[in-house]
Amino acid sequence: MSVTFIDLFAGIGGFHAAGASFDWKCVFANEIDPAAASVYELNWEKPALGNIHDFTRNNRKKSIPKHDVLFAGFPCQPFSKSGKQLGMEEDRGSLFHDIAYILEKHKPSMVVLENVRNIAGPRHAHEWNYIIAKLRTLGYRVSSKPFVVSPHKIPPSYGGTPQARERVFIVGTRLPSKNHRLKNDDTPLKFPTDFDRWDSDEWDLFKDLPLQENTPAIKMKYRITNDEIELLNAWDNLVREMLAHREGLRLPGFPLWSDLWGKKPIYEKDRKAPDWKKDFEAKNEQFYDEHKKVINSWFSNFPVVRQVNPSKRKLEWQAQNMKSLWEGLIHFRPSGIRVKRPNYVPALVAITQTTIIGPYKRRITPIEAARLQGLSDNFSFGNQSDVLSYKQLGNGVAVSAVYQVIKAAVERDSEILSKTNAELLKSVRKAPKSNSKITKEPLKIKEIS
């Protein structure tokens, strides 16, 4: 008999991919966004389109079938740093109550929830404590200690991918009785010791993702604009000038803000300005004083730096000993142009901050972004726009993270599951250590042109 699962707030199916890796059967999926639902249907099956309230609240029109595992990456905006952080005061935050309703009615053996790391932060202590207490009241063993997982912390041999995407997982295993001795047990989940020996700095994006070959068609479609290249060439000139003839010099870790160079202080005498802004300004003033001749010449030779919007007049150098901006990974962020080593990328987001691959002078493709989320090379977005695909991936869950979280939870709770759901226990224990179905294509890295 197959283990069954339901996939709530399903998106394009990251949870489904993890469940399918254990040969589990999806008996119900729900997604409110029509575009995401179309992609889900293309790759998995047709989800129930619409609001989860239709299945859980007093006016419910439909029912949810019985299942063994409940997956839910419930909407993170109420808890995200990029949102208003209203938590359960916002209706989307109250969607946890719909999850609780389903758990109470169907009593699945396991529940796996995912959200942004901020949900376990001090600002949302009330919500966090409520969720943990509610799951325990419903009869689940769940730790109150946040279990933070990122795919770049998982070795490639275990299906990890080079993306720094920290998310909190809340995993509950149903106890045989509500007064079980483990009801309030706080034993946290943990990964195998192999994970502890993995150094995430060992990732090599060009080798480990892998990237698609930079064919003329891909290069044309995803190449950055001439204006972007002009601006990045300007900043690259400053980086090269600073590093090439100054033995042992490393660019500072604080953001370089060209608007502060050679100008009167903005924050120094402002009593309302926070100390970090004053410190930031003082460091930039010192940097300018130490390199005044080079910087003034740079301003004269590259007037474009003065002409672009403010966020592009800042440089955040996180590339350590790299000699050129074009050797690394580049991101246009509201806080500035960030450059880092090409080991792993920052978290995919549902807005336009797509990683630029320096040597290729292009952005990552949707296929590469899907690989970063651990989706197989057979995954398809159909004919939809890349903008929608990037957004859906940015809202998605990393498949390898879900897969390894399930294995860790089953290992911790094997004694419980041997009594409550032996089939679930068996299916996970016989599964391979890695869920990865990404094809390792041969990669040809071309010279920067």
- Out of 12, 29, 76, 260, the active site residue is 76
pLDDT at 120: 87
- Return the amino acid letter for 285: E
Kindly report whether the peptide bond that precedes residue 432 is cis, defined as omega within 30 degrees of 0.
Answer: no
Place of tokens 């000038």: 241
pLDDT at 8: 97
Cα separation, 313 vs 307, whole angstroms: 9
What are 264-294's pLDDT values in tens digits? 888 887 878 888 888 989 999 999 999 999 9
Domain ranges for the chain, please list them.
Answer: 4-199+398-429, 213-364
Q: How confident is residue 80, by pLDDT bands cut at 50, 70 and 90? A: very low
Element (H, E) at 412: helix 399-412
Q: How confident is residue 87, by pLDDT bands cut at 50, 70 and 90? A: very low
Is 110 in a helix, a strand, or coil?
strand
Indicate whether 340 pLDDT > 80.
yes
Averaged pLDDT, 298-305: 96
Cα separation, 174 vs 190, whole angstroms: 19
Element (H, E) at 39: helix 34-43
pLDDT at 100: 93
Element (H, E) at 147: strand 147-149
More confident residue, 77 or 377: 377
Indicate whether 93 pLDDT > 50.
no
Q: How confident is residue 441, by pLDDT bands cut at 50, 70 and 90? A: low
Q: How confident is residue 248, by pLDDT bands cut at 50, 70 and 90? A: low
**pTM beyond 0.75, yes or no:** yes
Indicate whether 312 pLDDT > 70.
yes
pLDDT at 445: 42
* 26 part of the active site: no
| CATH 3.40.50.150 given to domain 4-199+398-429 | yes
Q: Which of 46-50, 415-419, 433-437 has the lowest mean pLDDT?
A: 433-437
Tokens linked to 157: 């041999």
What are 355-367's pLDDT values in tens digits? 999 999 999 999 9
Cα separation, 359 vs 445, whole angstroms: 8
Is 58:37 a contact under the CB 8 Å cutoff?
no
Would you give the DSSP letter of residue 121? S
Q: How confident is residue 192, by pLDDT bands cut at 50, 70 and 90? A: confident
Indicate whether 203 pLDDT > 80.
yes
Whole-number average pLDDT of the chain: 90
End-to-end Cα distance, the chain: 57
Tokens linked to 22: 């254990």
- Percent of the chain with pLDDT strictly greater than 70: 91
Cα separation, 161 vs 168, whole angstroms: 17
Place of tokens 């089939």: 423
Is 131:96 a contact under the CB 8 Å cutoff?
yes
HSE of 67, CA atoms in CB hemisphere, 13 A: 24
Q: 357: which strand partners?
A: 329, 362
pLDDT at 72: 97
Indicate whether 103 pLDDT > 70.
yes
Place of tokens 């709530």: 8
What are 132-165's pLDDT values in tens digits? 999 999 999 999 999 999 999 999 999 999 999 9
